[in-house]
A and B are shown apart, each in its own frame.
Chain A
């Protein structure tokens, strides 16, 4: 029963101690100033009486211990001052002289010992025993537990209690560890505070704004991985408040798959070999969302500490941009490769930097890549390359584009093409021209069509002009013809009357008794009138021939007979020798014999008239392939060259006594028979009129 009661008391005591120590450790955790921690500890421990606490911290490179904190009991009774006869600040305990302290510091053990033993080890003053007796220290036990910082023992937590249980020792040991952690944080934070302040000042100096940076920035101790600072963007990236990040291990920022050992993969990589490089990894938000990021990390040495500065960039946006960029690049490529127009990019020296398939074909290279670095001079004629170079250099200098310039260029296969070239400058973000992009369209076909159209329209104009001239001529001829027909017909009646009257007059004069000499004179006068009547008659005939006769009676005709008939109707002076040669192979011709006779009569009459005194007339007829040729050649005066084109026109004559319808009529009559009439002549030598009649109809 009694034992049970004791046990119950011990348990209660332990529970109280545990709760108390837990509260204390919570209170000190996160405090950045170690001295404040000591203060809190002293304050808290003053509230209790069942056990006392003091903290020894290593000093003098670990050789000595100083008393950093002591609970009210020690301070009030000036235990240490009296034991060592020194002020608390100056008091130093030699570690090596105390085996207990040595074991805790060097072997990191948690020990339980008699308080008297500890006191004797650390102080050899004669007052020791007196104090032990005064405060009943011989009844009390001490628990010594190491205090760590960064895995190294920094000091000793000493708790003294009367007859502590094993459980209490464990609680005390745990408490020592809690205090260790709190001191660790405090120590580091105070150091990092300096580091961060330094960093901030550097950043401010260099104009970068840590807090306002778009990228998330996290600073972590390179050795422990403890995050010492972060900016607003970092908070946003992981969805945590700054107080939820700072002081935490850097691994909390990453999902488990990114962590190997104690640190994230990238943290280790950046530290080991990839400092300064951009690595891809993932971060995890407070809500568990995993985000792709890129981290660039730099190792900073600040205040003797190594700090890894990680700059995070959310690559979701970047990936989206990249994807968009890729799709746009693909679109551009598809456009470039499929458009029939040639596209080329050039640098400021007019060297190709990129061309499309059409341009590759134009240049005659197997792939667009082959042309990179080359210029127009490598592919085109010197003349074109020069012109293009001048144009491009102008664009680069002035920034003014060239739009739809028509150029003639030689393609790789040697074919010349017409193209419209458009070239515009390419500018960088600062507005500086860094090259040009050109696009040329093949307009050869269009151009040819255009040229042809121009040619055709010009030809058309010529035709119209010619036709107009012909029409005017035809109108003129028609008017002449009409007049001729009218005049011809109307002159025949009075002529008929004159002839009859003249006959009667002759008869009457014959019957008068007039002297024979006078009668002879009168007869001469009559004859002259007769001649003039004949001449008038011929004029009328020519006029009517020319004007009328649109119907032709084609009859198989022996041209030899027609020539004979024509010659028979003409009186040829004896001074002119006429020869006729008709080829035996000449077949009968399909012509109108009457018209042919008229034409030949006319031509022979002309020939006779062309010969002033003596001369020759030769009439020939023969076949020349598909045509029959009938020609009349004289050795007369000939026709001046300038008159030759006009002689077949009506109302043109060189004769003093000629009305200008003879040859015009001949031409008309021959044309009506599908033939042609031509003339060759030389002044002083004579003329040849030739008629061509087609053999087959």
Chain B
């Protein structure tokens, strides 16, 4: 999600080349609508938007879909922005211009983290069921 068409376009193409399904948004409003309509595993968000503060968009999306990975990309590096972004639920923070390899690496990392978190949850459920069964078995006897 970026207001710069060239960036949106080239990053979409790169990610699609790597096999991801990509949707783009050109404004904060469009981004909110799209995330409500469809589940996305990950969002790349520009911090500077034409219609709202990038940090505001981030907090809105985080509230709606906490599980979605959110990577902030900004042209204006500042510690303040970075800290704010992370506090508001961002999972990563990148500074323009970001090298393509680094971008792809970060995307991959975040998706793996998400996957791991989900599998962790799955494992916990499995473990809980197992222990419950054990309790039931011992309790009946």
Contact = CB atoms under 8 A, between A and B. Distances in A.
Interface stretch (A180-188, A229-237, A488-496): A488-496
Given A544-B76, A549-B78, A497 B6 contact: yes
Interface residues of B, number: 21
Interface string A486-508: 00111011111111111110010
A288 interface: no
B7 A496 contact: yes
A587 interface: no
A495 B6 CA distance: 10
Interface in B67-122: 73, 75-80, 96-101
A541 B79 CA distance: 14
B75 to A, nearest CB: 4
For chain A, which range describes its interface: under 10, 10 to 19, 20 to 34, or 35 or more residues? 20 to 34
A541 B97 CA distance: 11
Interface string A524-552: 00000000010001000100100011010
Interface in A461-507: 488-490, 492-504, 507
A497 B11 CA distance: 8
Contacts of A502: 100
A553 interface: yes
Contact of B13 (A499, A504, A544): A504
Given A492-B75, A493-B7, A499 B80 contact: no
A488 B96 CA distance: 11
Contacts of A548: 76, 78
A497 B100 CA distance: 10
Contacts of B101: 503
A503 B101 CA distance: 9
B79 A495 contact: no
B14 interface: yes
B17 interface: yes
A164 B43 CA distance: 186
B97 A492 contact: yes
Contacts of B136: none
Contact of A499 (B17, B76, B99): B99
A46 interface: no
B53 interface: no
B30 interface: no
A152 B80 CA distance: 148
A538 B4 CA distance: 22
A353 interface: no
Interface string B6-50: 110011011001000000000000000000000000000000000
B17 A500 contact: no
A499 B98 contact: yes
B80 A504 contact: no
A98 interface: no
A692 to B, nearest CB: 24
Contacts of B77: 541, 544
A493 B17 contact: no
A557 interface: no
B97 A537 contact: yes
Contacts of B75: 488-490, 492-493, 496
B79 A594 contact: yes
A501 B13 CA distance: 9
Contact of A496 (B13, B17, B76, B98): B98
Contact of B96 (A496, A501, A507, A549): A496
Contacts of A541: 77
Contacts of B78: 548-549
B97 A496 contact: yes
Contact of B10 (A490, A492, A504, A553): A504
B84 to A, nearest CB: 12
Nearest to A536: B97
A507 B104 CA distance: 14
Contacts of B96: 492-493, 495-496
Contacts of B14: 500, 503-504
Contacts of A500: 7, 10-11, 13-14, 100
Contacts of A494: 6
A497 B10 contact: yes
A553 B79 contact: yes
B17 A507 contact: yes
B4 A493 contact: yes
Interface of B: 4, 6-7, 10-11, 13-14, 17, 73, 75-80, 96-101
Given A493-B7, A537-B97, A594-B79, 5 more contacts: A492-B75, A497-B10, A500-B7, A544-B76, A551-B79
5 contacts: A493-B6, A495-B97, A496-B4, A498-B97, A548-B78
Interface of A: 488-490, 492-504, 507, 533, 537, 541, 544, 548-549, 551, 553, 594
